[in-house]
Chain A
Amino acid sequence: MKTPSAERFRKYTSDEVFDRIRNYDSVSAMWKAILPGYAGATAISDNGENYSFAKLEEDAASFRPLVSGLPGDRIGILIPNSYSFVKVYLAVVTAGKTAVILPPQLPPEAVFGIGMKFGLSALVYDAATAEKTALLAARAPQVALISDVEASDSPAPAADVPGDAPCVVMFTGGTTGKSKGAVLSNRAVMRGTVNGCYGIKEIFGQRYLLVLPFSHVFGLIRNLMTSLYTGSALFINRNSKDLFRDIAVFRPTFLVVVPALAEMALTLSKKFGKNMLGPDMKTIICGAAAVPPYLIREYAAMGIDLLAGYGLTESANLVSGNPESLRKPESVGLMYPGQEYRIEDGELWLKGENMMDGYIGEDDSSSEDGWFRTGDLVKIDDEGFLYITGRTKEIIILPNGENVSPAEVEAEFSALPLVQDCELYEDKAENGTPILVLEVLPRMTELGKLPEAERSARLAADIAAVNASLPSYKRFNRLVVRDSDFPRTPSMKILRHARYAK
């Protein structure tokens, strides 16, 4: 068992910056402590408006009374990335309640299901998501529905919130691929927030451009929370197609992205012969999927530090960060403080104040004696740098950070009468971009009933219809129809592609 210390991050910044980084027990305690120092500075820039830290507190104060008196602690938030989300989230957690952050793209049935399963006291929605609450309103009248624009005439200050009070519930594919709600305490969220400051030259007073969803820990903790904590300004990019236009206007210094986006910005910069990330960009934090080393080198040549990191929803986002990406481009960095780790049969196990309290309403098969089994196979070099070498779980992690469980997607296609068996796997397109491939073995007994001329068209049409019904990141890009059976294991399971293609 090892306990990493914060001190070894000291050398990557000035003593002045390093000594300014201090932890708080709860989001509320942090917010109350930092507010006087940053009151007039811009906290959020969204939709053409700038909101100062003082204005954000003023708006949060008017929202707190709407949730603080409710019975029960769990308040659902169904709001896309916006200033309004930040106001509601901050109001909820600094009122001592738990913010259950629903991905705004969820269908109404899922919103209803989560409302029931998680025992929400209330659900806060905005104009964009209002119509998704109808089912909940009709069938679960005990869940109060609150519009984001409601405000109380008697504002309430941030409450004193203990560190072990649950702060947020975040959705995750977990280590098995099934969607679960992970409960993170105030202490865990603050540990993640503060750890995000280590190993970076300039961290206070930055200009962040937000492209990640707040419903993901990488967007909520590493973007929003660390940005607030460091007195930085966060510009909300509402539509990714406006990304580079927003960059030209806001001139960010700091970007937190998945590798696919960093790669896109680089490819387009080269294609059009200009730095698409703007003249002020200094630091890119890259994670949620493996970072190709060439990205680190190419960005270094442009004068931009691209720092890889590693984390999980269950660990309040951050486990390690690499302050020396250029020297050790294959590594995900040094383990952050506030956690203990051990390596069992190559698998990384974690414990500490950054770890979740558990999943809501689910057995937590990934924990053992208080240790969380990450499912990631790792090694650590003699300087303490961590490397991910593989996974014990069958999950495909796309370059945009989305996790796809092949079994879950395959089940959708296997339900088709014309499909006997199928396998979803990751492959590379001609330019090296990872793509999803679905390989299908037709059910000849069913297919044979159709006129021969119609067979392949029917099969393709049925498969295309299922593909179109999936969330876009789970859709395959290529289809391969087999004319013979899959290679199989002795127990007749498909010998999965990853194992024999290598």
Chain B
Amino acid sequence: MQREEITEKLKEILLLTDVDRSLMEGDISALRLKEDCGLSSVGMLYTVIGIEEMFGIRFENVGLEDFVTVKDVIDYIGAKTE
């Protein structure tokens, strides 16, 4: 899957959560999940389940807390959907 496509779909999922709307405009790859996006534990759960459902992948032996930035998540999804 193309990087841009992954990014757009990830944005859709993040918009389901408690993330700050203004952060989702423009490039999101450098954002840090906890510090910048301010995802709560429920927000994290939305994101994990949303990603698994949207991309048909499964987080194996990793949790969202193992990722620092949105780019790390995009890289992971990219590798999983190759």
Contact = CB atoms under 8 A, between A and B. Distances in A.
Interface of A: 240-241, 243-244, 260-261, 264, 267-268, 271-272, 399-400, 429-431, 433, 435, 464, 472-473, 477-478
B20 A429 contact: yes
Contacts of A473: 41
Nearest to A399: B42
A400 B38 contact: no
In the A-B complex, list the 10 residue pairs whose CB atoms are closest, starting with the nearest: A433-B18, A429-B18, A430-B21, A477-B38, A241-B48, A260-B42, A472-B41, A272-B53, A435-B18, A267-B16
B59 interface: yes
B63 A430 contact: no
A217 to B, nearest CB: 21
Nearest to B50: A268
B66 interface: no
Interface string B16-36: 111111000000000000010
Contacts of B81: none
B15 interface: yes
A310 B42 CA distance: 22
A464 B35 contact: yes
A472 B65 CA distance: 12
26 contacts: A241-B45, A241-B48, A241-B63, A243-B49, A261-B42, A264-B49, A268-B46, A268-B49, A271-B50, A272-B54, A399-B42, A400-B41, A400-B42, A429-B18, A429-B20, A430-B20, A431-B15, A431-B16, A431-B18, A431-B21, A433-B17, A433-B43, A435-B18, A473-B41, A477-B40, A478-B38
B40 to A, nearest CB: 6
Contacts of A261: 42
Nearest to B39: A477
B30 to A, nearest CB: 17
A322 B17 CA distance: 29
Given A267-B46, A429-B19, A241 B59 contact: yes
Nearest to A265: B49
Contacts of A431: 15-18, 21
B36 to A, nearest CB: 11
A264 B46 contact: yes
Given A431-B17, A472-B41, 14 more contacts: A241-B52, A241-B59, A243-B49, A244-B49, A261-B42, A264-B45, A264-B49, A268-B46, A271-B16, A431-B16, A431-B21, A433-B42, A435-B38, A435-B40
A3 to B, nearest CB: 39
A430 B53 CA distance: 24
Contacts of A244: 49, 53
Interface of B: 12, 15-21, 35, 38-43, 45-46, 48-50, 52-54, 59, 63
Interface centre among B39, B43, B48, B54 (most CB of A within 10 A): B43
A39 B53 CA distance: 38
Contacts of A267: 16, 46
Contacts of B42: 260-261, 264, 399-400, 433
A271 B12 CA distance: 10
A440 to B, nearest CB: 16
A244 to B, nearest CB: 6
A429 to B, nearest CB: 4
Nearest to B38: A477
Interface centre among A244, A399, A429 (most CB of B within 10 A): A429
Given A271-B50, A435-B40, A240 B18 contact: no
B67 to A, nearest CB: 14
B70 to A, nearest CB: 17
A271 B15 CA distance: 11
Nearest to A260: B42
A267 to B, nearest CB: 5
A477 B19 CA distance: 9
A138 to B, nearest CB: 31
A495 to B, nearest CB: 25
Contacts of A243: 49
Nearest to A471: B41
A457 B76 CA distance: 31
Nearest to B13: A271
Nearest to A473: B41
Contact of A477 (B18, B45, B52): B18
A478 B43 CA distance: 14
B53 A268 contact: yes
A477 B40 CA distance: 7
B8 to A, nearest CB: 14
Nearest to B37: A477
A264 B49 CA distance: 10
B11 to A, nearest CB: 13
A337 to B, nearest CB: 34
Contacts of A472: 40-41
Contacts of B48: 241
Nearest to B59: A241
A289 B46 CA distance: 19
Nearest to A434: B18
A61 to B, nearest CB: 38
A382 to B, nearest CB: 37
